[in-house]
């Protein structure tokens, strides 16, 4: 089954280093990444398979902060715009990976420097 992923996870999973909230969260990410690489990706809007294991997801909404869900949806929209993709598209991991170098500078300027995950993201080793 294809991995169901939202906009910003299409970019951020390329820099995942095997760490997260908990062992269960990490195991979930590892499984999702394996399926994405082996079987491909189906792009969705809203919470996805990564979100399902997050302790801050409640009622299909991110509750990390008061405005988190809206901020994440804006992130998703920019990711899809930069990648020239939309909800409902299926894509192979390798095709997606080939798009990342073309958009990563714009993404880093907008999101990476202030990201809560920057300590566990390999892209930030060079940011």
What residues contact 127, with CB distance under 8 A and at least 6 apart?
A: 108, 112, 113, 118
The encoded tokens of residue 26 equal: 């990490």
Q: What is the pLDDT of residues 18-48, one digit of tens each?
A: 877 788 888 999 999 999 999 999 999 999 9
Q: How many CB atoms lie within 10 A of CB 23?
A: 8
pLDDT surpasses 70 at 126: no
Q: Where are the domains of the chain?
A: 3-125
How far apart, in whole angstroms, are the C-alpha atoms of residue 127 and residue 122? 9
Spatial neighbors of 9 by CB under 8 A, at least 6 apart, are 48, 50
pLDDT digits (tens, 9 = 90+) for 44-98: 999 999 998 888 888 888 888 889 899 999 999 999 999 999 999 999 999 999 9
Residue 120 or residue 123, greater confidence: 120
Confidence of residue 10 (pLDDT cuts 50, 70, 90): very high
């Amino acid at each position: 089954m294809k991995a169901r992923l939202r906009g910003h996870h299409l970019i951020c999973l390329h820099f995942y280093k095997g760490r997260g909230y908990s062992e269960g969260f990490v195991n979930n990410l590892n499984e999702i990444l394996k399926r994405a690489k082996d079987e491909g990706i189906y792009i969705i809007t809203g919470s996805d398979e990564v979100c399902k294991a997050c302790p801050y997801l409640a009622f299909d909404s991110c509750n990390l902060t008061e405005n988190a869900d809206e901020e994440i949806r804006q992130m998703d929209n920019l990711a899809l715009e930069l990648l020239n993709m939309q909800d409902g598209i299926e894509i192979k991991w390798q095709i997606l990976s080939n798009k990342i170098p073309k958009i990563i500078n714009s993404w880093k300027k907008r999101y990476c420097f202030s990201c809560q995950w920057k300590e566990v993201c390999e892209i930030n080793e060079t940011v």
